[in-house]
Amino acid sequence: MNLHIGGLERKTGWKVLNVQPGPHVDYVGDLRDLNQFADDSIENVYASHVLEHICQIEVVPVLRGVHRILKPGGKFLISVPDLDVLCHLFVIPWATYEVKWLAMRMMFGGQVDPHDFHCMGFNEQFLRRFLEEVGFSEVRRVESLGLFHDTSEYRPHGFPVSLNMIAIK
């Protein structure tokens, strides 16, 4: 089984876990508690723009949970807002109100519902360190994950605002 955490889109071969029920949601649950999935039971886990909703103190336990459910050799495909890019967008001299507003919302969340608040910022160095700390054997940055229509490939004002990585158990 392949698990899309935080998704809403149906895709052959993938099951969706989301905090809110929906027409294509197979499992209702939170990234903080993956106990409904057995150890070494998932081929691939995909999570785009969900890890930043976890508080700093919860990042390692959450990533341990993802690592636990992945089969040996399984992949964790993860995308988060890239704090380095967002900070750059916020301070560049030509940044308009709209550019700064977008960068701020990408940093702190859209805050349109109780689940849309960001608690943590990630850059490549931070995310790599967390993934390695919980036992992922290979961690690499990629330009695109190319699986779902989501914010992982969002490029406002020409800037790729997502940090996309693949970590292998």
Instruction: Extract the tokens encoding 160.
Output: 């790729």
Confidence of residue 152 (pLDDT cuts 50, 70, 90): confident
Which superfamily, per CATH, for 2-168?
Vaccinia Virus protein VP39 (3.40.50.150)
What is the pLDDT of the chain when averaged over all its residues?
94
Return d(Cα 123, Cα 125) in angstroms, integer: 6
| Domain spans in the chain, listed from the N-terminal domain onward | 2-168
b or e along 63-100 (b: 16 or more beta carbons within 10 Å of the residue's beta carbon)?
bebbbbbbeeebbbbbbbbbbebbeebbeeeebeeebe
pTM of the full predicted structure? Answer: 0.93
* pLDDT confidence of residue 145: 92
Asked if residues 12 and 112 have their Cβ atoms less than 8 Å apart, the reply is: no
Return d(Cα 94, Cα 86) in angstroms, integer: 14
